Structure 1
Amino acid sequence: MTSPAPSDRTSSMDRSYGFVEWFRPGEFERTERILPDILASGARYLRTHLSWAEYLAPGGEAWFDWLMPRLGADIDLLPCIHYTPPSMSRTGRSSGAPHDLKAYADFVDHVLTRYGRHFRHIELWNEPNNLLDWDWREDGDFRLFCEMVGGAAYWAKHRGWKPVLGGPCPFDPYWLNLMGERGVLGVVDAVGFHGFPGTWDSEEGTWGGWDMHLGEMRRILDRHNPEAEVWITETGYSTWRNDEMEQARRFMKALSVPADRLYWYSWADVAPDIAVQEGLWFDPRHYHLGAVTHDNQPKLLARLLKEGGVARLDDVTKLAVPNLASGTAPIVVTGGSGFIGSNLADSFLRDGEDVIILDNLGRPGVDENLAWLMERHGKRVHPVLSDVRDPRGIEGAFDDAKAVFHFAAQTAVTTSLVHPIDDFEANARGTINVLEAVRKAERNTPVIFASTNKVYGSLEDLKMLEHDDRYLPADANIRLNGIGEDRPLDFCTPYGCSKGVADQYVLDYAKSFGIPTAVLRMSCIYGPRQFGTEDQGWVAHFLIRALKGEPISVYGDGKQVRDILHVDDAVAAYRALLGHINLAKGKVFNLGGGTRNAVSVLSVLREIETVTGRTVETGHGDWRAGDQFYFVADTRRLQRDLGWKARIGWRDGVRHLAEWLAEHRFGDHARLVEPRHKVVA
């Protein structure tokens, strides 16, 4: 009989899945780090290799004695037995057939005896029609392979295990039918399939879709062994272009294909100092197939699976629904699902504008902002879920844009110190990609860029006066007005450098190409829809911790001063800049709360205690790199040129954010002390 497709048995929402992960001898720490994360993703299966060559190498037996029980104790394990020991190979390579073909079956028998209690299925070889895994030049008619694997499969089945024939790559129905004619398909319980649609150039001309290829496979199996199952033992999508949303979409698609089991390749990226296969060292696609990076930073796929499994993944991947009518001139907001971006987008949508939200949804929680926008404004919200680091993926979003607000960025100084290259790619190269996409569209579209006060450096040259709860500059003019745009740039930390580079490119595109660009160098913005963390968005982070009754970490002594600005005022500044873009073209403006909203960290903590009615427990850590003792923006240029000014006082703004958090994050107003006066925000 024909095995039913998964859609006949269960929906993709209920589909089980696994991951492929190769563990190399000695990777004890890596194995212990990765395995809990794989389990936390909801995976039921794990495919790994048990290399015949590595087993017989020095230390190999001890390694697999540890690895097989460790993996098999927690997850349904599929070991793939391949790679001939070179000393036993007819070619002297691990891809060659052994001199004694029965030796492979003997090794499989040994594996079953030694480790068989840790798994039910055993995979025989990997990609046997691929020259790098099986040297078919020395076995042109595959008779050696069929004798070797057929005998091993027969013996494994006789002993009570379920053999799986390794999947050909690329898929070759003629090869598979040959396996049937030679009797190999008759002695296996499942056959693997490898397919990476969208990743490998070699598949672009031959890929006919999951249904076509798996249908071919099913028909061949039905001729030779109708009971055999179809397993996707390798599929995946490389994020080498930084298109993590596409990887998540491909995963959801793979869950719906007509196969009996699915293994996603892979859990973790390959470290850049490891050669994947001979001759493939410099192909970046091989190094970015994981759901997490090589140093265990979760990509979108891993994060969503760990947050809520397939249901969470399904919710987010469904957010991108193209609906932009021909001839519409939208406003594009990159990073439009983020804190400031979503507030700005909402303001334009309330005015009846169409808005493209270009976002990679890389930061936890921002998909909630996108869902909120779509619920409020329906079809006038146009999600483009791509990454600004991927020029091919974003260019189309700018074709008909009437204005571009560029917020998409890596936003934390701390992250930039750990991953400076990633920080550069997101902030500097990502900005160039946006500018080039606008230039190619040839519509002379205004571009307004969200820069940062960090481009002025740590301001170490400013002499400071220390007071009981704050630092103030000794310079009376700076105390009165703040830091002006004439302050020399002094990039500090990778974050300051990458944002500073982007800042200067945005200004130069006005000079070099005539594009109407402008820059806002922001101080600390806070308000609703902010997912504050310890690394970025400190006002919201402090309030969230206080409302949870959790302690707050303060880096430095807490006397550092910032001019915090409510997001409604920030939105007004961005809109004013667009409204006066002819005047503002090629200019930079400092944006913050000004001296009226200049507060120390300690004073904000005291206000949070007033608002919440409880004492906040604090601890102090070392000063962070590049932290400024004092930054207050001189906003007089904004006021003079654009008629803008901050309207929301910081105490009212903090209470407004606290009320929003209490309602939307905690569902409870009772935690807050009633204000002495009405809050206007």
Structure 2
Amino acid sequence: MRGYGFAEWFRPGEYDRVEAVLPEILASGASHLRTHLSWAEYLAPGGEDWFDWLIPKLGGQIDLLPCVHYTPPSLSRNGRTTGAPKVLKDYADFLDHVLTRHGRHFSHVELWNEPNNLLDWDWRADHDYQLFCEMVGGAAYWVKQRGWKTVLGGSCPFDPLWLDLMGQRGVLEQCDAVGFHGFPGTWDSEEGAWRGWDMHLGEMRAILDRYGAPELWITEAGYSTWRGDQMEQARRFAKVMEAPADRLYWYAWRDLPKTVAVQEGFWFDPRHYHMGAVEAEGQPKLLARLLTDGGLARVREVTHLAAPSLAKAVKPVVITGGSGFIGSNLADSFLNDGHDVIIVDNLSRPGVDQNLRWLADRHGDRVHPMPADLRDESAMRDAIRDAQAVIHLAGQTAVTTSLTAPIDDFEINARGTVNVLEAIRATGREVPIVFASTNKVYGALDDLRMLETDDRYVPADARVRENGIAEDRPLDFCTPYGCSKGVADQYVLDYAKSYGIPSAVLRMSCIYGPRQFGTEDQGWVAHFLIRALMGEAISVYGNGKQVRDILHVSDAVAAYRGVLDNIGRLKGRAFNLGGGVDNSVSLKTVLHEIERVVNHPVPLGFSDWRQGDQFYFVADTALLQREIGWQAKVGWREGLADLARWLRENRSFPETEPTRVRA
């Protein structure tokens, strides 16, 4: 099977970035890496030292392809890096120097990048490409004389006439491979002319066969996730891996930070900053997770699983976030009752692809995956067109993420919810919707006076202490997450008033249980238990005395089903959903129980309180109980043991020795 590689540009001084990215690329199963060796940067102050470090660092661990381009302005005919050098032989001389100094670290060298693109080669001053052909043809000849192989930089967009000109001028006969660049679905300028990998590469191969048949390499292919469609990026990767090329480089491994200017003209284009398989801050997207988890085979498995199959004339239940923790449990419940379910999920969270596989294995073709993001209006309309009901669970779920990326948080939670509501309105039918809100809409509850005991906070107000927080509590949005979910909460309720859509809101406390892949930022009960089973220390923010009412997911599923079954009576209303007073526990209490469940002490570390964290939240669920007869049936200790049992059956954990807990 042909391997794959990544194209990743490193800029002078990015030592830490290289140290972080290279192990990730290797862990993904990539066998080769393409990066640039800028002639202009090499001759700039500090440039030689940078490349003296970079090329051996990369070439010592992976098959490296350096792309040598960009004329030093002082040597350029137009004073820019895109200009032809005043002395064309200078380019060959520089390559000669690079081969002597670093040639032991690579076998091929790429000559220029996108030479028919004005941003990389100023063809206005070389309209017939005579200068380029002389420069590259001479350099290629010399590189081959010295025993290395050459790759001609790929044209972008693909231009068969330009490639044929390279053959007529004798450039192709000096090259061992020719590059091709293609980004179908990302750039509007390419979309209209794109005719598929087979067609374009076949056209390219016909030209190459006339001039000595060098290898055909895809030196850049990619797909931007600027719309949030990570599944589509994985699909595009799987598709290009079937293309008839001798080698593939995917652009890129990591997104670019917004502070980096890519090329003049692209500064404000969001597409250019989301080309990576990993976010700029290091969070893996779906493609990176799948490659690291099981390579190309895993990518193909998941992308095939998530292929839409909506041909049957059914009235499905639509669950946004249906591959998530609560969503997959809800989907399983509906599927067990004979419903078809459309799973709308962008699969951006680790582990959710496993939940989707679990659903498909259990229920076959009644599961209809639709990999889509809430921000994609047309996808929401497609998903909801034939729905009998919608459970809206998808969203950005972490307070910490909302503080670092408030615009994304708003676009997903607030605007994304309006997209779902508008998709329902577009059906012209009264499709019911139940929305997953949060107790964070009540704010930090700073006005509640607390009494501090040895292991927990207790409200001084006897009514709150005995019953919890009721729905008549004033809304007080706090943190961007609380604001975005609160906005969505209110929009869902208003669409019942303004448009007659049967809608209801469940303001959830802490839900836990099987199929949860908890993280430090969201799903803390599962996160604590996973860390304990791994034998790792647990970080506690605050003093651990904060109190939550934790609810087993089976009880949450029953609440959603009950509200939906009674939506005619309950439309336009919000209900608190949590474990209630009987399942109210402090973090310290949960940690002590986890030590008992895993049968060894758990090391703890304490950090400062996080913004917007509540000392106490326990939901008063009396209203839900009165309206639909619902109540929590699974006690928290029983539920914690159930989650531990599921984790042990579905994940591998090391044998751990007892560890002394820091006092």
1:32 Cα deviation from its structure 2 partner: 2.1
Does 2:323 correspond to 1:337?
yes
Match of residue 29 from structure 2? 42
In structure 1, distance between residues paired with 2:73 and 2:454: 74
In structure 2, distance between residues paired with 1:479 and 1:380: 45
Does 2:442 correspond to 1:482?
no
Match of residue 39 from structure 2? 52
Indicate which of 93, 117, 139 corresponds to 2:80: 93
Check conservation: 1:323, 1:382, Cα contact below 8 A.
yes
> Unaligned 5+ residue runs, structure 2?
658-663
In structure 2, distance between residues paired with 1:288 and 1:371: 27
1:216 Cα deviation from its structure 2 partner: 1.3
Check conservation: 2:535, 2:654, Cα contact below 8 A.
no
In structure 2, distance between residues paired with 1:132 and 1:89: 15
CA deviation map 1:413-459 (0-9, x unaligned): 23323333332232222222222222222222111110111111111
Indicate which of 197, 201, 208 corresponds to 1:210: 197
Match of residue 170 from structure 1? 157
Match of residue 233 from structure 1? 219
In structure 2, distance between residues paired with 1:246 and 1:615: 44
- Helix, strand or coil for the counterpart of 1:224? coil
Check conservation: 1:97, 1:145, Cα contact below 8 A.
yes
In structure 1, distance between residues paired with 2:572 and 2:364: 35
Indicate which of 140, 146, 151 corresponds to 2:138: 151
Equivalent position amino acid for 1:177 in 2: D
Indicate which of 418, 438, 447 corresponds to 2:424: 438
Q: Percent identity?
A: 72
Indicate which of 381, 384, 397 corresponds to 1:395: 381
1:668 Cα deviation from its structure 2 partner: 12
Check conservation: 2:320, 2:343, Cα contact below 8 A.
yes
- Helix, strand or coil for the counterpart of 2:115? coil
Does 2:605 correspond to 1:633?
no
CA 1:170–1:407 in structure 2 vs 1: closer, same or farther (change >3 Å)? Answer: same
Equivalent position amino acid for 2:531 in 1: R
- Helix, strand or coil for the counterpart of 2:26? helix
Does 2:378 correspond to 1:362?
no
Check conservation: 1:332, 1:401, Cα contact below 8 A.
yes
Does 2:287 correspond to 1:301?
yes
1:626 Cα deviation from its structure 2 partner: 1.9
Number of equivalent positions: 657
- Bigger shift: 74-83 or 89-98? 89-98
Match of residue 674 from structure 1? none
CA 1:20–1:539 in structure 2 vs 1: closer, same or farther (change >3 Å)? Answer: same
Check conservation: 1:609, 1:616, Cα contact below 8 A.
yes
- Helix, strand or coil for the counterpart of 2:210? helix
Indicate which of 264, 271, 275 corresponds to 1:285: 271
Indicate which of 344, 349, 352 corresponds to 2:335: 349
Does 2:302 correspond to 1:316?
yes
Equivalent position amino acid for 1:580 in 2: N
- Helix, strand or coil for the counterpart of 1:96? coil
1:670 Cα deviation from its structure 2 partner: 14
CA deviation map 1:613-648 (0-9, x unaligned): 444443433322222221111111111222222222
Match of residue 661 from structure 2? none
Check conservation: 2:534, 2:656, Cα contact below 8 A.
no
1:470 Cα deviation from its structure 2 partner: 2.1
Check conservation: 2:228, 2:346, Cα contact below 8 A.
no
Match of residue 453 from structure 1? 439
Match of residue 478 from structure 2? 492
1:378 Cα deviation from its structure 2 partner: 0.8
Check conservation: 1:400, 1:443, Cα contact below 8 A.
no
Match of residue 371 from structure 2? 385
CA deviation map 1:176-234 (0-9, x unaligned): 111111111111100001111111112222211111111111111111112x1000011
Check conservation: 1:335, 1:408, Cα contact below 8 A.
yes
Check conservation: 2:535, 2:656, Cα contact below 8 A.
no
Alignment map for 1:257-656 (pairs within 5 Å): 257-656=243-642
Check conservation: 1:663, 1:669, Cα contact below 8 A.
no
- Helix, strand or coil for the counterpart of 2:155? coil
Indicate which of 148, 164, 168 corresponds to 1:181: 168
1:666 Cα deviation from its structure 2 partner: 4.8
- Bigger shift: 60-69 or 454-463? 60-69
In structure 2, distance between residues paired with 1:476 and 1:399: 49
In structure 1, distance between residues paired with 2:594 and 2:255: 42
- Helix, strand or coil for the counterpart of 2:305? coil
- Helix, strand or coil for the counterpart of 2:343? strand
- Bigger shift: 475-484 or 440-449? 440-449
Check conservation: 1:662, 1:669, Cα contact below 8 A.
no
In structure 2, distance between residues paired with 1:279 and 1:547: 51
CA 1:588–1:668 in structure 2 vs 1: closer, same or farther (change >3 Å)? Answer: same
Indicate which of 52, 70, 77 corresponds to 1:65: 52
CA deviation map 1:585-639 (0-9, x unaligned): 1111001111122222232233334444444443433322222221111111111
Check conservation: 1:559, 1:600, Cα contact below 8 A.
yes
Alignment map for 1:101-140 (pairs within 5 Å): 101-140=88-127
Does 2:64 correspond to 1:77?
yes
Match of residue 3 from structure 2? 16
Equivalent position amino acid for 2:195 in 1: G
- Helix, strand or coil for the counterpart of 2:589? helix
Match of residue 5 from structure 1? none
CA 1:56–1:534 in structure 2 vs 1: closer, same or farther (change >3 Å)? Answer: closer
Equivalent position amino acid for 2:351 in 1: G
In structure 1, distance between residues paired with 2:519 and 2:269: 36
CA 1:668–1:656 in structure 2 vs 1: closer, same or farther (change >3 Å)? Answer: farther
When normalised by structure 1's length, the TM-score is: 0.93
- Helix, strand or coil for the counterpart of 1:520? strand
1:669 Cα deviation from its structure 2 partner: 14
